[in-house]
Amino acid sequence: MNRHAGAVSWAALTLFWLLLVNEVSIAQLMLGLVLAGLVLLPTAGFQASRPGLRRVGPALQLLGVFGYDIILANVAVARAALSPKLPINPQFMRLPLDMEDPGMVALLAAMITLTPGTVSVDIDLSGRVLTIHGLLVHDAHETVMGIKRRYERRIREIFGC
């Protein structure tokens, strides 16, 4: 882990501690720093190398698209769940991956899982396929192509992978 990433992780864990205890004091700050160190120092050798952020603009764009998609998916899933007819069409879909970096594939899988109505089921890195389950799938091909266009393409652009 490089120094910048280590410092950011240390600060993030310390902030998380302060939020968890809901108290900002010198004693809690010091305890948070110590606890962050107890987590980070022994695990530093296990950190996978990951591509650095190459383009900030597309990263902000991806964040906006992802947020918008989460809102739309929440509304769609709520509408389907509250409908007396329960208009669902669950399907498994296979998304061919254009990325090879395991961390970036995991990021894509996490984004899919965090979007209501979809979940990443399996990552096959050797076959470069991500299996997804969708709850409200009308056109599996269009759903897969939408994920590739809206998420995977942007992740590749942001991280250069």
Element (H, E) at 9: helix 3-21
* pTM metric for this prediction: 0.70
Q: What kind of architecture, by CATH, is found in domain 71-159?
A: 2-Layer Sandwich (3.30)
Coil/strand/helix, residue 121:
strand
Question: pLDDT (tens digit, 9 = 90+) per residue, 32-46?
Answer: 999 998 988 887 766
Sorted by where each begins, the domain ranges of the chain are: 3-46, 71-159
Please give the Cα distance from 146 to 152 (Å, whole number).
9
Determine the angle formed by the axes of helices 3-21 and 26-43, rounding to 10 degrees. Answer: 130
Locus of tokens 């900002």: 24
If we measure between CA atoms, which residue out of 95, 115, 112, 1 comes closest to residue 48? 1
Question: pLDDT (tens digit, 9 = 90+) per residue, 98-117?
Answer: 998 888 999 999 999 999 99
CB 17 within 8 A of CB 36: yes
